[in-house]
Amino acid sequence: MSNITGSAATGSFSSGNYGGEEVQQQQQELLNHHANLHGSNSFLATTTNIDSNGISTAQVQKQPPPAKKKRNLPGTPDPSAEVIALSPKTLMATNRFVCEICKKGFQRDQNLQLHRRGHNLPWKLKQRTSTEIIKRVYVCPEPSCVHHDPSRALGDLTGIKKHFCRKHGEKKWKCDKCSKKYAVQSDWKAHSKICGTREYKCDCGTIFSR
């Protein structure tokens, strides 16, 4: 005759005079029990001990899941890229290049040259002097910002401009429905299109936007 003692809470059991197959069956049942309690993503390990009286005891230990691979931080440019640092005024300027006829401003000289064609003025586009493509990265003008470090510079002018507005600029675009403010006009426009259209209502009547 054999005796069985065990506890589902502690994850252990003992049996007297049991054969190997019966012990394995008990271990499998205990594993299934813990899998149901902790989910299929749990990692379990069993250890079996036999004392001097021939009583075997199996214990289940939960192992920590493998560490997740960390994502690369934004702003890890090519070390050979040219690092460009612009002042806040230069970065946010909208009329660096002005047409002398209509006084319209442009951010790039190339755009101004193309615009001059409409006035029948002489224009000239800069030509590349070599076939080699020069990579450029831009640092944030804010000294306390993590992207002020050249090793964390962003890879395009539009990206660093939006970053500077979102993190360090004035939020002057306000939603008429929820009064939420944005520093980038495109963010404000995208929000305005969906504001109030996606609602999640609790049974108590409270409405949430997400």
**pLDDT > 90 fraction of the chain, expressed in percent and rounded:** 16
Q: Output the pLDDT for position 11.
A: 47
Q: Considering only 75-79, 150-154, 155-159, which range has the smallest mean pLDDT? A: 75-79
Average pLDDT over residues 134-143: 90
pLDDT at residue 162 is higher than 80: yes
User: Tell me: the pLDDT tens digits for 7-53?
Assistant: 444 444 444 444 556 656 666 676 666 556 555 444 555 566 666 66
Average pLDDT over residues 159-171: 91
Average pLDDT over residues 88-114: 85
User: Tell me: the pLDDT tens digits for 60-99?
Assistant: 566 667 777 666 667 767 778 889 999 998 888 777 788 8
Average pLDDT score, the chain = 75
Q: How far is CA 204 from CA 189, 201, 210, in A?
A: 31, 8, 16
Q: Output the pLDDT for position 18.
A: 46
pLDDT at residue 2 is higher than 50: no
